[in-house]
Amino acid sequence: MRILITGGSGLVGRSIHRLMDNYFCSENVESFFMRSNQCDLRNYGSTYTFISEYQPDVIIHLAACVGGLYKNINNRRIMFEDNFAINFNVLKIAYELNIKKVISCLSTCVFPDAVSYPLTEDTLHSGEPHNSNYPYAYSKRFLEIQSRIYNELGRSFICLIPTNMYGKCDNFSLEDGHVIPSLIHKFYNAMTQNNPEVSIRGDGSALRQFLYVDDFARIILSFIKNKSVGEGDSNDISNTFIISPDIADEISIMDVALLISKYVGFKGQIIKDTSFSNGQFKKTASNQKLRKSFPNFQFTSVDNGLETTIQWFISQYPNLRLK
C-alpha cells in the first residue's frame, strides 16, 4: 500500500510520520510526506503530474493555508481562494486517477455560528459559519460536499473534523499561530526576558476542546487500518466524523493560559486585552459517532499534552516554526 500525505511537513503530517511505523510495522506500506515546496497544490497541472507519478493507494489530505483567528480575519480572500483551489485539485485528481480512499482534514469552524450544542455531523450545513472565519469555513464545507459527490460514484472519501489541535511541530508564530502555540511562545518570551506580565487576546472566557495532535494522527491511521470504518451510505454524512475529546474536557482560554504559565515557569501577571475579539464563544462538539467506531480510544488530557508540548518547545527553541 502506498500512502501520500499532503501537508506532510505540518503539525499533523509530522505526527503521522512519528507514528507510522508503529501502525504498519508488519505490513508492506510505503509513504511519501509531501512538502509545499515540492508541488503547488493550487496549480491543477502540477498537482496532477505529482500525484499520478507517485500512484498512491490512499491520500491523507492535510495541506491547507491555515492560521489562528486573526490570520483568518485579516486574510479573507487568500484563506478562501487558496484552500478552495488546494482541496478541489487534490480531490478531483484523486477521483480521476481512481484512488479509492482519501482522508481529508476539516475544522470545527465549518459549523454554523447559530446552532444547538453539542455540534454533530448532521448540522454541518444548517446555517452560516461565524463571521470571523467564514471564508476558510466555506472552503472546507465545499471539500465535504465534493467528497460526498465522489462517494456517490463509488469512492471512500472520508472527512475528519478535529477540534482545536496543538502539539509538537506546531506553528508557534506570535501573530499567525493558533491560540496554544502562540501563547506558549508569548509566555516563554516573557519568562526568558523577565517581563512582569503577559497579555492574552480577549477576556479568556472562550471555551474549546483541545485535541493533542498525536491523538488525531492515531485516529487517521486507525481509519486506514480499519477498512470498514467510513464505508457507509454515500448519500448522507456517514463518511464525516468529528474528532474531539469528550465534552467534559472543554476548557477556557484563561485556564489554558494558566497551565501554560505553570509549565513554562512564568511567575508574573496575566492581563486580558479586551480590545481583541474572543471569536466564537464555544464550539462544543460531540464525539459519539467516533466512539461507535473506536469506543476504547483514550485521549490525552490538556494538562499532559501541554506539558509535553512545552517541554518539546523549550528543547527545540529557536529551531522551530516561529512565523
- How far apart are alpha carbons 244 and 242 in whole angstroms? 6
- How far apart are alpha carbons 29 and 242 in whole angstroms? 27
Name the helix (H) or strand (E) containing 243.
strand 240-243
What size, in residues, is the chain? Answer: 323
Question: Is the preceding peptide bond at 245 cis, omega within 30 degrees of 0?
Answer: no
Cell triple for 216: 488525531
Cell triple for 118: 453539542
Contact between 170 and 182 under an 8 Å Cβ cutoff? The reply is no
Name the helix (H) or strand (E) containing 17.
helix 11-23
- How far apart are alpha carbons 161 and 287 in whole angstroms? 10
Contacts of 33 (CB under 8 A, 6+ apart): 5, 8, 9, 13, 16, 17
Amino acid at 224: I
Q: Which of 16, 23, 32, 11 lies closest to 222 in space, CA to CA? A: 23
Helices marked H in 61-125 — which ranges? 69-74, 76-96
- Residue 130 carries which DSSP code? P
Q: Which of 302, 313, 9, 315 lies closest to 185 in space, CA to CA? A: 313
Residue 166 appears among annotated catalytic residues = no
Active site residue: 95, 134, 136, 263, which one?
136
Name the helix (H) or strand (E) containing 59.
strand 58-61
Q: What are the residue numbers of the active site?
A: 136
